[in-house]
Amino acid sequence: MKRILLTAFLAALSATAAADTIEMKVYGLVCGFCAQGIEKTLRKNPATEDVVVSLEDKLVAVSTRAGQDIPDADLTQALTDAGYDVKGIVRTQRSIADIRTSLKKSAK
């Protein structure tokens, strides 16, 4: 019984510990159509809440719905299949709004 409770507790803890935002360094982004294509592809995933793409910073960020996650392998596969090169994936608690604000400041 203790083992079942511990397993349930750890499963709940890992679900709540999942990052809200997944930031990826992606190479091969050259135009607005690239950004639109990536955004459209990533929005097809039911766990995706929002997406931001920055050509200048080679950044693709995905926020996930509460309690949901997207495995790194799925993200890498989707972007690789679309013709892009994923150089790194970082999971953060930074919101998409914070990322957009940061990108606007760096563009000035």
Asked if residue 7 has pLDDT above 60, the reply is no
pLDDT 10s digits, 51-91: 999 999 999 999 999 999 999 999 999 999 999 999 999 99
38 closest CA partner among 100, 84, 73, 71: 84
| Local structure of residue 55 (DSSP, 8 states) | T
Q: Tell whether domain 19-107 is in CATH 3.30.70.100.
A: yes
pLDDT of 108 reads: 73
Give the predicted TM-score (pTM) of the model: 0.79
CA distance 42 to 17: 22
Q: What integer pLDDT is reported at residue 10 of this predicted model? A: 41
Q: Where are the domains of the chain?
A: 19-107
**pLDDT digits over 16-54, tens only?**
444 589 999 999 999 999 899 999 999 999 999 999 999
Phi/psi of residue 82, nearest 5 degrees? -85, -5
